Chain A
Amino acid sequence: MKNILVAIPCILGLFITGCRPEPIPIKIPQADGKLVVSSQIIPNTTLLISLSRSFNALTPTDTNPGQNLLEQILVAHARVTVEHGGITDTLLRVAPGFYGSITTPLMANQTYTLHVYDSSSGKSVTAQTTMQTRLTLDTAWVERRISGRDTQRWLHYAFTDPAGVNFYMLNTYRNTSFFTNVISNPARVFNLMSNADVNTIPITDGLFKPGRHEESMNLGNYAAGDTLTLTLSHIDQTYYTYLVQKQRAARNGLGAFFGEPVNYSSNVRGGYGFFTAHWPDVRTLIIKE
């Protein structure tokens, strides 16, 4: 019996520790590299297009993309044109991978067609978007709520929702002057380590009636003295769908392990990304005591 009492813990130890089997390597064919399009409108001035290439899944991206990787993925020599109302504008290269136009008129309900030809890879993509009507915030203010020992700050904002089905994007920035970044050095957008405290919320008017609409949101850890910048844009449904996909992926906190894999939607034919044209209406608020 004594032997058994000694033997069992020994074997138990063996069981618990066990042998870890060597993982088995596997080769997985990689997706073809495609052009990636992204667009932004700097109010009243510029239509800005960024062009890059998709890359191998085994390329490290857990740190900032290094200069080498950026040089590889940013499309330096492309012919980029935007067609609108029978006119074709050729966008100028403002930085490697960035093409802009200050002459293209940006008008609501105008359809813009983007054509890109990358001479180095011979690949081309097209995309089309319609500029949504410009929207302005009727009001925006921050309320302080005290609950026990907690002080919470709530953002209240209102805008006028036009008739029909509409989609919006609200961005909030804490102590970030994002437009300065984009204009002064567009490549800074390719900053993985950005620790900007921002929040993007896609909104659909499916649940509220046309007319003045008020929304509220908890700002979380905003403190007195912080600067809150908020932008509200009227966007199209395809871009809204993309934002919702992103938002759902972010909600899957444990990401790839529990979440369902998703290939993000895109309106770029033959490529990835989004060509969208929308006016952000910008407000800046200082959080008071």
Chain B
Amino acid sequence: MNRLLIVTTALLLCFCHAKAQQKTYTVSGYMLDKQTGQPILGGQINVQNSTASVIANSYGFYSITLDSGWHVLESQQAGYDRDTMRIWLGKDETRNILLTKTPYTIGEATVIARRNVQEVKSTRISVINLKPADIRNIPTIGGELDIIKVAQLLPGIQKGAEGQSGFQVRGGDPDQNLILLDEATVYNISHLFGFFSVFIPEAIEDMDIYKGGFPAEYGGRLSSILDIRMKDGNRQRLAGSGGIGILSSRLTLEGPIVKDKASFILSGRRTYIDRVFKLAGLTLPYYFYDMNARLNWTVDKKNKLFYSFYLGNDVLKENSEQRTDSGDVLQVKFGFQLGNITNTLRWNHIFNPKLFCNTSFINTRFRYYVSGEFGDNSIFIGSRIYDYGIKSDFTWYKKPGNTIKYGISAINHTFKPNVISAKGVIEELLKDSAGKVINTQETGVYLRSEKQIKPGFKINYGARISACFTEGKLYAGLEPRVAAVYETGKYSAIKFGYARMKQYLHLVSSSSVSLPTDLWYPVTRNIKPQRSDQWTLGYQHAFRKPDFLFSAEVYYKTMQNTTEYREGAVLILNNNYENELLQGNGRAYGAEFLLKRDKGKLNGWIGYTLSYSDRHFTTLNGGNRFPAKYDRRHSFSLVANYVLSKRWDLGLVWVYNSGSRFTAQTGKYFMPNPSLTGVDVVPVYSSRNAVRMSASHRLDLNLVLKCRQTKKFKTEWVFSAYNTYNRAEPYRVRIVADKTTGALKYEQPGLFGTLCSIAYNFRF
């Protein structure tokens, strides 16, 4: 017995010693698409017979530290076959994981179900990821996928009025959404006054939409971050895709420059509305175009370089001649241009298997101008923003279950709002203005850590310190961020998020109408930064069969220093906007529900939002709290894709929104004018935003016919119908005379009724 005890003790000691001596090593690398060589973002790597796992970052990089010895790594991502890799760790290893793309299978349903479980167990809250490849059958105007329009079908994201480019997130204002394309800010996200987004779907890899629980690396806007990433480009072979539509056509080419080393992607799109109208003998001298390009170069195992470029413009140009009463010929020219250019140069560097760094140099230019020439008279009104910035983000995979992210960013904004140049008689009415040039320097540093407190309870905490220097004044502030997940079961969890956000620029837009040319105005000595505090509580449940993900969230958000125009503000040809601005507070709260299925014969989602949003300005509405313009109480969306057969797919969207609010004219009176030569008709308005427009709802349909599906060439026809049952989506209220009685009445017109379109898409 004693001998047995001695032997057991000796073995135990040996084991403990061995355990103490056991070293850990790191395996790291990129998760890549086997066919194209492009990085797979957000893929999951699990270690068999262990709780250790890691998610590939937004560049496809992963790193996991394990004990020495044999391990089996299981890698998975929706849309790809699962892959297992057996590896001996006796030193730090660099291994790229190559996954093969597969069509939807029962096997993939399992992967998606696992991805849903992974989503449930993560600390991510109020985040939705959209991949163009997953949502390409959702009906949109012109039969062309529009990721921004699709995003507006998600709970908590509400579109503005029909024909307006902005959208609102959780009761915020349209300027509180930051849209990043490969880290560069895109100021104008739409064409044709909001009907098309500027993003070419074939050039986009995916988009994360953050509505709350913002990670510390993001800042600069109160209500949402749309982080859009472009594709890398096929590293194996030349490939292409595109479409010919009624209003526009687009083409994307991608391929290797040096196989497995460098690749490119180039996308272009242009409308031909102008040409088509011309063919019909009509004049509409308007078109828009977009161009995306990206170059990728793997310098060596530790370094990668990326260059992204975007250029887009809306152009309206008309030249004509008019004969005056005296017989002279007068040259009349009208021009309008609105667009962005963005450039991003990124450098990925792996310092060691545990430390990954991305450094980006960013440049954005946004500008618009309106010009007119009438003989000797001319006018030019323009506005410009130039951004130059640099940011570095570090990811330190400290140990399994503990990842630390930190970074720094600095951006110089140059604003030239409202440049006015007038010549001729018009000069007397409108003085030249070089535009007040305002320079602001915005900086931020952040640190965040994700830690598993105990099994089933994870916390992601950190902070961002942001600052903005303008006109000799420094605004700075601490932005704490916390997100936590507590698993209530194998497939369900309760989540919590808190985020403070600061915003150092404002979009100055009328409460009556929102235009792409609305003015971006930075903080100044008098205009203070906006700030929000948002609390979110959520519940998520991943269903195994079928593979649905259910999510319910409630939120409460307070906002300080939001902007509005003063009553009676002059918005046209005003070169002193600052005097017209008022700052006040706001709050928003509500609940959101989402049931979604990413893949399968029937996929899509059902979303519902209940929301409240109001504002309080001491000098507006008599100092009383008033509803926000887009205080839409209920929003419901049903988005469904159904695979009818091998050749036919059906897409359907039904969307319902409570009406937005407005200030209605509810009376009038005659008031002798100060010169006593007549009377003014003085309108009497309701209290601010007191009246709600009618609710809007519409059904959009999409039918896809897959024509030719060879291995090398795939084509399809897309037939779509927007607003199928032709119901007006109210965008304003007007007073008109009744056609039969002649009596005046209020009515709400809609911009577009049923719009049918057809598009031909191809891939090779």
Contacts and interface: CB of A to CB of B under 8 A. Distances in A.
Q: Are A and B bound to each other?
A: yes
Interface of A: 4, 7-9, 11-16, 18-31, 33-34, 36, 38, 40, 50, 52-61, 65, 73, 150, 169, 171, 173, 176, 178, 181-182, 189-194, 196, 198, 200, 218, 243, 245-246, 248-249, 251-254, 256-264, 272-274
A33 B678 CA distance: 22
A18 B753 CA distance: 6
A9 B758 CA distance: 11
Given A58-B735, A173-B675, A260-B565, A18 B668 contact: no
Contact of B567 (A50, A60, A189, A262): A262
B571 A258 contact: yes
29 contacts: A8-B246, A11-B246, A16-B280, A21-B727, A23-B736, A24-B750, A26-B693, A26-B746, A31-B666, A57-B664, A57-B666, A59-B668, A65-B670, A182-B676, A189-B676, A189-B679, A190-B679, A191-B679, A192-B679, A194-B677, A198-B675, A252-B570, A259-B510, A260-B569, A263-B684, A263-B685, A264-B682, A272-B671, A272-B684
Contacts of A15: 246-247, 755-757
Given A22-B728, A55-B668, A40 B572 contact: no
Question: Which 7 residue pairs are nearest across A and B when measured between Cβ atoms?
Answer: A194-B678, A262-B568, A31-B667, A19-B753, A54-B669, A21-B728, A196-B677
Contacts of A254: 572
B672 A189 contact: yes
Interface string B81-105: 0000000000000000000000000
Nearest to A61: B681
B359 interface: no
Max chain A Cβ within 10 angstroms of own Cβ: one of B279, B571, B676, B730: B676
A265 B682 CA distance: 11
A145 B374 CA distance: 24
B512 interface: yes
A173 B677 CA distance: 9
Given A15-B757, A191-B679, 5 more contacts: A11-B756, A12-B276, A58-B743, A260-B566, A272-B671
B694 interface: yes
Nearest to A253: B572
Contact of A256 (B512, B668, B754, B760): B512
B279 A9 contact: yes
Contacts of B678: 189, 191-194, 196
B691 interface: yes
Interface in B594-621: none
Interface in B424-458: 425, 428
A220 B452 CA distance: 76
Nearest to A40: B676
A248 B529 CA distance: 27
A231 to B, nearest CB: 8
B428 A218 contact: yes
Contacts of B744: 58-60
B474 interface: no
Interface of B: 246-247, 276-277, 279-280, 425, 428, 510-513, 565-572, 663-686, 688, 691, 693-694, 723, 726-730, 733, 735-737, 743-750, 752-758, 760
A233 to B, nearest CB: 9
A209 B665 CA distance: 41
Nearest to B510: A258
Given A52-B669, A54-B684, A23 B748 contact: yes
Nearest to A193: B678
Contacts of B513: 257-258
Given A22-B728, A24-B748, A249-B568, A243 B684 contact: no
Contacts of A23: 728, 736, 747-750
A29 B666 CA distance: 7
A61 B668 contact: yes
A199 B422 CA distance: 24
B333 to A, nearest CB: 21
Nearest to B684: A31
B674 A26 contact: no
Nearest to B276: A12
Contact of B572 (A38, A55, A252, A273): A252
B753 A53 contact: no
A60 to B, nearest CB: 6
B667 A54 contact: yes
A11 B758 contact: yes
Contacts of B670: 36, 52, 61, 65, 73, 190, 192
Contacts of A274: 671
Nearest to B758: A11
Contacts of A169: 674
B675 A18 contact: no
Max chain B Cβ within 10 angstroms of own Cβ: one of A13, A20, A169: A20
Contacts of A272: 669, 671, 682, 684
A21 B246 contact: no
B745 A25 contact: yes
B685 A38 contact: no
A94 B672 CA distance: 17
Contacts of B667: 30-31, 33, 54-57
A110 to B, nearest CB: 21
A234 to B, nearest CB: 14
B671 A273 contact: yes
Contacts of B425: 150
Nearest to A182: B676
A55 to B, nearest CB: 6
Max chain A Cβ within 10 angstroms of own Cβ: one of B277, B677, B694: B677
A31 B665 CA distance: 9
A200 B675 contact: yes
A47 B530 CA distance: 51
A14 to B, nearest CB: 5
A76 B728 CA distance: 45
A31 B756 contact: no
Contacts of A189: 672, 676-679
A57 to B, nearest CB: 5
A251 B663 contact: no
Max chain A Cβ within 10 angstroms of own Cβ: one of B664, B678, B754: B678
Contacts of A20: 753
A53 B667 CA distance: 11
Contacts of A8: 246, 758
A81 B663 CA distance: 36
A179 B748 CA distance: 44
Given A55-B669, A189-B676, A260 B748 contact: no
